[in-house]
Amino acid sequence: MTGRTTPQVPRITRDEWNEQFGSGRWDYLAEGPEQARYAAICARIRTARAASVLDVGCGAGVLRDHLGDYFSGRYLGIDWSHTVLAKRIRRRDEWLLCADASRLPLRGSFDTVVLSEVLYYLDEPLSAIARMLDLVAPGGQLLISLYQPSADRHPDWHSLIADLDRDVRAMGDTAHQLVTGHSRRNWLLHVITREEQR
């Protein structure tokens, strides 16, 4: 872990997330170019034959919808926005929890833990990664997707996220993959695997 201050994008408070989900600000996640990102995450879950998934900052549960019926394992989605969780029509085989990812009231282990477009909203992202890795079962994986803003259009975001990408790689990223949606929207999907035995 690096000693330097970790980059952060502008804070969005919990109330603001509730407001934004209430106004439909994030509805676009369920359509268009973003689907390439969910597909890449699902492919990793499928390839790893994960039987349990923890989706931290799950939002509207779009990832669970993408997993579809082929996934018959345990799915737990956590988000601190009660507004977005209340909107979700819960599947019979999923669990949802309203909680702050910085203070997760969880023990146990999951074959896959996902941070899909969430990491840069969390306080102390590198500490958050360490906490998430503690929830990964031996031999399991932590998947982190990070939007790659264009350097021309969003120079500040670009350099913040480039720093964060570097830090995540330094934490043991084993297989990052560039995912491209149409309209030139790109994400980096980091995979950090936990050793079988520690």
Ligand X SMILES: C[S@@+](CC[C@H](N)C(=O)[O-])C[C@H]1O[C@@H](n2cnc3c(N)ncnc32)[C@H](O)[C@@H]1O
Strand order across the beta sheet in which 74-79 lies: 94-98, 74-79, 52-56, 110-116, 136-147, 186-193, 177-180
17 binds ligand X (CB under 6 A): yes
Applying CB under 6 A, among 6, 112, 116, 148 the residue interacting with ligand X is 116
Residue nearest to ligand X (CB): 59
Q: C-beta of 135: minimal distance to ligand X in Å?
A: 14
CA 27 to chain centre: 17
**What's the token pair of residue 193?**
């695997």
Query: How buried is 89 (Cβ within 10 angstroms: 0-12 exposed, 13-18 middle, 19+ buried)?
Result: exposed
Applying CB under 6 A, among 42, 53, 67, 79 the residue interacting with ligand X is 79
Binding to ligand X (CB under 6 A) within 92-111 occurs at 100-102
**What's the token pair of residue 55?**
């989706």
Question: Is the CA virtual torsion 55, 132, 52, 193 positive or negative?
Answer: positive
148 binds ligand X (CB under 6 A): no
Quickly count: other Cβ atoms within 10 Å of residue 133's Cβ: 17
Cβ nearer to ligand X, comparing 32 with 138: 32
Cβ nearer to ligand X, comparing 86 with 138: 86
Q: Measure the CA–CA gap between 170 and 17, rounded to whole angstroms.
A: 30
Applying CB under 6 A, among 45, 54, 67, 122 the residue interacting with ligand X is 122
Q: C-beta of 56: minimal distance to ligand X in Å?
A: 7
7 binds ligand X (CB under 6 A): no
Q: Measure the CA–CA gap between 91 and 60, rounded to whole angstroms.
A: 12
Stretch that binds ligand X, among 77-85, 131-139, 165-173, 180-188 (CB under 6 A): 77-85
Tell me 97's DSSP state.
Answer: E
Binding mask 27-66 for ligand X (x = CB under 6 A): --x---------------------------xxx--x----
Contact residues: ligand X, CB under 6 A: 17, 29, 57-59, 62, 79-81, 84, 100-102, 116-118, 121-122
